[in-house]
Amino acid sequence: MYAPAARASLVHARAPPVPLCTHRTPRTRAPGALHHTRTLATPAPAQDDIPQCTKPPRYGQPTPDTHPHLMRPGELTPGIPREEYHARRTRLMDSLPDGTVALALGGKVKYMSQGIFYKFRQASDFWYLTGFDEPDSAVILEKTSDTKGYRMTLFLRPKDAQLELWEGACTGVDAALTLFSADSAYAMSALPAHLRSLLSAPSTQHIYVDGSLSPKGRAKKGLFDFLKGGGKTEYDGILSGARGRIHELAPEVGRLRAIKSENEQAVMRRAGALSGRAHAKTMAFTRSAQTEAQLAAHFEYQCALAGAQRPAYVPVVASGANARIIHYVNNDCTLRPGEMVLMDGGAEYNGYASDITRTWPVSGTFTPPQRDLYSAVLAVEKACIGLCTGSAQLSLADLHRRSCELLREELTQIGFRFGRGGGGAGGRELEGTLYPHFLSHPIGIDLHESATIDRGERLRPGMVITVEPGVYVPPHDSFPKHFHNLGVRIEDCVLVQQEHSVVLSVEAPKEVEDVEGACQRSLAPV
């Protein structure tokens, strides 16, 4: 191996790189050197006349200028225009009484261990109202009588060169005014004084905040984190004058989030499509895999490759009897021919979740008992999807009751016996043992958007829900032996419309022939 000094005479000098967006200067040659002469059609411009490339300013999140491959002009977050965020705030404040001040807190960075952080995810309601995607932030909305209807004040981390050296660009106070259409913006440290001033104003009659302000409420802890600069005494003093005027903000925002706009529907359609394709590709990969962990890794890889930002949740990859465990996430067993594998997995794409479950045979072909049980669950799922319309005037609770009725009928046809009251699988053993979970939940920015949703409320066009019947058969004498230890669940994301429903996860195969075709790689890739 040559020492660098020994090779010095052999190294040819390389010309410095030519900057982008500048014209090349013709090379000069020694007198008498052989060369071809090329005459320029127009003289080269003077150096001062050459337009220089300037990079767009970077903020704490993508913009159409910095990430044109992700966003279109006019979008504040990928897929959602700036005007839509304004419309959300307008609808919220229009629904609240005069004299209202609403406070939403941003999220904080969470840590796995000392100094080891998780990828940041913004607090859902705050993100829905602002589109701002940096930690340690807050927004105050004040209802006004002008044509806009509200005043927006954003609180955020100020520009900090040292912090940006480690974590990348942040938006800063000045840019927040134009980028996020805030009426005013301040450093987060100004929140206590600003909030104290608002709460003491006679015009402030109603205060809407995240969660409960009871001593054990999450919002109280969250507010204390942001306001603790003055100590607990000052914190208690700020809130003491607000007693009797404080209301929960989450139910009000939840009513808005329940109905997805056309832009949100498009983003969720993309989330469902890429997750569905990942399911299909994981089915095809199964015969090459040896473990549940390999299937989980393949699924998450396919989602990321298609543009997902993160998994929507820890995937369930449950083979054999593991499929009877609803939230099985160990994913550490080997795959065995003759068994089935249940995979519950979805991706988060541009801030919206997908939630899909499929069950398929490890060997690529269902056994007769597997096919019978799978077909029973599939029939129930498809029937329930057909009822997800505004015209059906059903609620989530109605749908669940109907799924129980249908599942009882389907299982009876394949040999299950259900009596009335004790004995065998009678009474409530269907729901208590074979089908212990609820049929459906709303989905959107959060995987489960049901915290503020009334299951007795009728479905309305624009809602997106899951439909996920399942059967999990324990090795009990009450049930046909050839079904013992089988678990089947089939789940799709469904957009409710007035006269029909739209499956957003249609790319994931679920008909028996399509599932077997995907597993055997005879189904055309999607």
* Per-position DSSP letters for 455-503, written without gaps between them: TTSBP-TT-EEEE--EEE--S-TTS-GGGTT-EEE-BEEEEEBSS-EEE
Q: Which residues contact 139 (CB under 8 A, 6 or more apart)?
A: 103, 104, 106, 126, 129, 130, 132, 152, 153, 154, 155
Rounded CA separation 155/153 (Å)? 7
Q: What pLDDT is attached to residue 245?
A: 86
Q: Tally Cβ neighbours within 10 Å of residue 526.
A: 15
Which of 249, 232, 434, 267 shows the shortest CA–CA distance to 352?
A: 267
pTM: 0.86
Rg over alpha carbons for the chain, rounded to the nearest Å, is 29
Rounded to 5 degrees, what are φ and ψ at 264?
-65, -40
CB 75 within 8 A of CB 81: yes
Going by the DSSP 8-state scheme, the letter that residue 433 receives in this structure is I
The pLDDT score that the predictor gives to residue 45 is: 58
Q: Give the pLDDT of residue 135.
A: 96
Q: What is the DSSP string of 180-229?
A: S--SEEEEGGGHHHHHHHHHHSTT--EEEESS--STT-HHHHHHHHHHGG
Type of residue found at 273: A
Place of tokens 């998450």: 300
Q: What six digits make up the tokens of 296?
A: 């989980």
Q: What's the pLDDT at 210?
A: 80
Confidence at residue 15, expressed as pLDDT on a 0 to 100 scale: 43
The per-residue pLDDT string of the chain (526 residues; one tens digit each, 9 = 90 and over) reads 434 444 333 334 444 444 444 444 444 445 544 444 445 555 655 656 656 667 888 899 999 999 999 999 999 999 999 999 999 999 999 999 999 999 999 999 999 999 999 999 999 999 999 999 999 999 999 999 999 999 999 999 999 999 999 999 999 999 999 999 999 999 999 998 898 889 888 899 999 998 655 445 555 556 656 565 555 666 666 666 677 788 999 999 999 999 999 999 999 999 999 999 999 999 999 999 999 999 999 999 999 999 999 999 999 999 999 999 999 999 999 999 999 999 999 999 999 999 999 999 999 999 999 999 999 999 999 999 999 999 999 999 999 999 999 999 999 999 999 876 443 445 467 888 999 999 999 999 999 996 677 899 999 999 999 999 999 999 999 999 999 999 999 999 999 999 999 999 999 999 999 999 999 987 655 5
CA distance readout (Å), 105 to 102, 249, 316, 351: 10, 11, 31, 17
CATH 3.90.230.10 in the chain, residue ranges = 262-519
pLDDT of residue 56: 83
Q: Which distant-in-sequence residues (6+ apart) come within 8 Å of 215 by Cβ?
A: none
CA distance 225 to 243: 20
Residue bearing tokens 């439909």: 467
How would CATH label the architecture of 75-257? 3-Layer(aba) Sandwich (3.40)
Question: How many angstroms separate the first and last alpha carbons of the chain?
Answer: 51
- DSSP string covering 227-255: HGGGHHHHHHHHHHTTTTSEEESHHHHHH
What DSSP designation does 337 have?
Answer: T
Q: How far apart are CA 167 and CA 151, in angstroms?
A: 31
Task: Note whether 388 and 381 are within 8 A (CB).
Answer: no
> Boundaries of CATH 3.40.350.10 in the chain?
75-257
Nearest to 120 by CA among 167, 73, 169: 167
Domain 262-519, CATH: 3.90.230.10
The span from the CA of 246 to the CA of 276, in Å, is: 43
List CB contacts of 48: < 8 A, sequence separation 6 or more: none
In sequence order, the 6+-apart residues with CB closer than 8 A to the CB of 87 are none
Predicted pLDDT at 279:
99
pLDDT of residue 14: 41
